[in-house]
Amino acid sequence: MARKGRDAHPNPYARKCGQSECCDLWGSNSLRDLTTTNNPILLNGTKRLLVMTEPMINYDAFIGFYGSTNLKRTREFYEGLLLLTLARNQKRCLIFRITDKAFIGFCLREGPLVNSSSSIITFVTQDVDIVYQRMRKQNIQCEGKPVLNKFFGIYHFFTSDPDGNRVEVQQFLEPL
Protein backbone atom coordinates (compact mmCIF):
# COMPACT_ATOMS: atom_id res chain seq x y z
CA MET A 1 0.00 0.00 0.00
CA ALA A 2 1.46 3.39 -1.03
CA ARG A 3 2.15 5.93 1.65
CA LYS A 4 0.55 9.35 1.35
CA GLY A 5 1.18 12.87 2.56
CA ARG A 6 4.15 13.49 4.85
CA ASP A 7 5.19 9.82 4.69
CA ALA A 8 5.13 9.65 0.86
CA HIS A 9 8.42 8.51 -0.66
CA PRO A 10 10.12 11.25 -2.74
CA ASN A 11 11.28 8.71 -5.32
CA PRO A 12 8.30 7.30 -7.26
CA TYR A 13 10.49 4.43 -8.53
CA ALA A 14 11.45 3.14 -5.06
CA ARG A 15 10.14 -0.32 -4.26
CA LYS A 16 10.54 -3.00 -1.65
CA CYS A 17 13.25 -5.48 -2.60
CA GLY A 18 11.35 -8.51 -1.31
CA GLN A 19 13.96 -9.68 1.20
CA SER A 20 14.20 -6.56 3.29
CA GLU A 21 12.85 -3.06 3.53
CA CYS A 22 16.05 -1.62 2.01
CA CYS A 23 14.17 0.48 -0.50
CA ASP A 24 11.31 1.42 1.80
CA LEU A 25 13.20 4.33 3.32
CA TRP A 26 10.71 5.51 5.88
CA GLY A 27 10.65 4.01 9.35
CA SER A 28 13.39 1.47 8.69
CA ASN A 29 17.01 1.23 9.70
CA SER A 30 18.11 1.57 6.07
CA LEU A 31 19.16 5.19 6.52
CA ARG A 32 21.52 6.60 9.05
CA ASP A 33 22.56 10.13 9.85
CA LEU A 34 25.59 11.36 8.09
CA THR A 35 28.23 13.91 8.95
CA THR A 36 30.90 13.30 6.32
CA THR A 37 30.59 10.84 3.46
CA ASN A 38 30.53 10.67 -0.30
CA ASN A 39 27.22 10.92 -2.14
CA PRO A 40 24.79 11.69 0.67
CA ILE A 41 21.12 12.07 -0.16
CA LEU A 42 18.87 14.76 1.27
CA LEU A 43 15.64 13.75 2.95
CA ASN A 44 13.52 16.37 4.69
CA GLY A 45 16.53 18.69 4.79
CA THR A 46 18.76 16.14 6.55
CA LYS A 47 21.80 14.50 4.98
CA ARG A 48 21.40 10.74 5.02
CA LEU A 49 23.31 7.79 3.63
CA LEU A 50 21.44 4.91 2.04
CA VAL A 51 22.77 1.68 3.49
CA MET A 52 22.03 -1.27 1.25
CA THR A 53 21.15 -4.48 3.05
CA GLU A 54 21.83 -6.64 0.00
CA PRO A 55 25.30 -7.45 -1.37
CA MET A 56 26.66 -5.40 -4.24
CA ILE A 57 26.63 -7.15 -7.63
CA ASN A 58 30.14 -7.63 -8.99
CA TYR A 59 29.99 -7.58 -12.76
CA ASP A 60 32.65 -9.51 -14.63
CA ALA A 61 33.07 -7.21 -17.61
CA PHE A 62 31.46 -4.53 -19.77
CA ILE A 63 30.58 -4.82 -23.47
CA GLY A 64 28.95 -2.01 -25.44
CA PHE A 65 27.37 -3.27 -28.68
CA TYR A 66 26.85 -1.21 -31.83
CA GLY A 67 25.54 -1.95 -35.29
CA SER A 68 27.68 -2.37 -38.39
CA THR A 69 26.80 -2.65 -42.05
CA ASN A 70 30.27 -3.96 -43.00
CA LEU A 71 32.18 -6.03 -40.46
CA LYS A 72 35.31 -6.11 -42.65
CA ARG A 73 35.63 -2.30 -42.59
CA THR A 74 34.72 -2.25 -38.91
CA ARG A 75 37.49 -4.77 -38.17
CA GLU A 76 40.01 -2.79 -40.20
CA PHE A 77 39.17 0.37 -38.24
CA TYR A 78 39.14 -1.04 -34.69
CA GLU A 79 41.82 -3.73 -35.09
CA GLY A 80 44.00 -2.06 -37.72
CA LEU A 81 43.85 1.60 -36.72
CA LEU A 82 43.02 1.57 -33.01
CA LEU A 83 45.04 -1.64 -32.44
CA LEU A 84 42.33 -3.40 -30.45
CA THR A 85 42.56 -7.17 -30.13
CA LEU A 86 39.74 -9.25 -31.56
CA ALA A 87 38.48 -11.20 -28.55
CA ARG A 88 35.75 -13.15 -30.32
CA ASN A 89 34.53 -13.52 -33.90
CA GLN A 90 30.92 -14.71 -33.84
CA LYS A 91 30.58 -14.40 -37.63
CA ARG A 92 27.76 -11.81 -37.37
CA CYS A 93 29.35 -10.03 -34.38
CA LEU A 94 32.92 -8.99 -33.63
CA ILE A 95 33.95 -8.34 -30.03
CA PHE A 96 37.16 -6.39 -29.41
CA ARG A 97 39.09 -6.22 -26.15
CA ILE A 98 39.74 -2.70 -24.84
CA THR A 99 41.08 -3.70 -21.41
CA ASP A 100 41.00 -6.89 -19.34
CA LYS A 101 37.36 -6.23 -18.39
CA ALA A 102 36.08 -3.86 -21.09
CA PHE A 103 35.02 -4.83 -24.60
CA ILE A 104 33.25 -3.29 -27.57
CA GLY A 105 31.16 -5.31 -29.98
CA PHE A 106 29.77 -4.72 -33.45
CA CYS A 107 26.98 -6.82 -34.94
CA LEU A 108 26.02 -6.97 -38.59
CA ARG A 109 22.80 -5.10 -39.28
CA GLU A 110 21.01 -4.87 -42.57
CA GLY A 111 19.51 -1.60 -43.65
CA PRO A 112 20.30 1.87 -42.36
CA LEU A 113 21.78 2.27 -38.89
CA VAL A 114 20.35 4.84 -36.54
CA ASN A 115 23.28 6.71 -35.00
CA SER A 116 22.39 9.22 -32.32
CA SER A 117 24.39 12.42 -32.45
CA SER A 118 24.63 12.28 -28.66
CA SER A 119 26.25 8.81 -28.62
CA ILE A 120 30.04 8.75 -28.47
CA ILE A 121 32.39 5.77 -28.33
CA THR A 122 35.24 7.04 -26.16
CA PHE A 123 38.66 5.45 -25.77
CA VAL A 124 40.75 6.71 -22.85
CA THR A 125 44.51 6.61 -23.39
CA GLN A 126 47.69 8.53 -22.60
CA ASP A 127 48.58 8.18 -26.32
CA VAL A 128 46.06 10.60 -27.87
CA ASP A 129 48.66 12.13 -30.22
CA ILE A 130 49.90 8.72 -31.38
CA VAL A 131 46.35 7.58 -32.21
CA TYR A 132 45.69 10.88 -34.00
CA GLN A 133 48.85 10.47 -36.12
CA ARG A 134 47.82 6.88 -37.03
CA MET A 135 44.44 8.22 -38.20
CA ARG A 136 46.05 10.95 -40.28
CA LYS A 137 48.55 8.52 -41.90
CA GLN A 138 45.60 6.37 -43.04
CA ASN A 139 43.73 9.47 -44.31
CA ILE A 140 40.96 9.02 -41.75
CA GLN A 141 38.92 12.21 -41.47
CA CYS A 142 39.10 13.72 -37.97
CA GLU A 143 36.99 16.61 -36.69
CA GLY A 144 40.16 18.48 -35.80
CA LYS A 145 43.49 18.09 -34.08
CA PRO A 146 43.64 17.01 -30.43
CA VAL A 147 42.70 19.91 -28.17
CA LEU A 148 42.65 20.69 -24.49
CA ASN A 149 39.14 20.96 -23.04
CA LYS A 150 39.58 22.75 -19.71
CA PHE A 151 35.90 22.46 -18.79
CA PHE A 152 35.99 18.64 -18.76
CA GLY A 153 39.69 18.38 -17.89
CA ILE A 154 40.56 16.31 -20.96
CA TYR A 155 42.81 16.31 -24.03
CA HIS A 156 40.95 14.77 -26.99
CA PHE A 157 39.85 14.59 -30.62
CA PHE A 158 36.89 13.16 -32.52
CA THR A 159 36.55 11.03 -35.64
CA SER A 160 33.95 8.58 -37.00
CA ASP A 161 34.13 4.85 -37.64
CA PRO A 162 33.08 3.35 -41.01
CA ASP A 163 29.43 3.14 -39.85
CA GLY A 164 29.26 6.78 -38.80
CA ASN A 165 29.56 6.21 -35.04
CA ARG A 166 31.22 9.20 -33.42
CA VAL A 167 34.53 8.11 -31.85
CA GLU A 168 36.48 10.13 -29.30
CA VAL A 169 40.05 9.47 -28.18
CA GLN A 170 40.80 11.24 -24.91
CA GLN A 171 43.12 11.56 -21.98
CA PHE A 172 41.94 12.66 -18.56
CA LEU A 173 44.23 15.36 -17.18
CA GLU A 174 43.62 14.02 -13.68
CA PRO A 175 43.03 10.31 -12.99
CA LEU A 176 39.46 9.15 -12.48
Cα–Cα distance, 101 to 60 (Å, whole number): 7
Cα–Cα distance, 139 to 112 (Å, whole number): 25
Q: Provide CATH 3.10.180.10 ranges for the chain.
A: 62-172
Positions of the chain with pLDDT under 50 = 1, 3, 9, 11-37
The answer, as to whether pTM is greater than 0.85, is no
Q: Which pLDDT belongs to residue 38?
A: 54
CA 159 vs CA 70, 81, 109, 136: distances in Å: 18, 12, 22, 11
Q: Which pLDDT belongs to residue 21?
A: 40
Q: Which pLDDT belongs to residue 176?
A: 77
CATH number of the domain at 62-172, please? Answer: 3.10.180.10
**pLDDT per residue as tens digits for the range 50-87:** 555 667 777 778 888 898 999 999 999 999 999 999 99
Cα–Cα distance, 175 to 120 (Å, whole number): 20
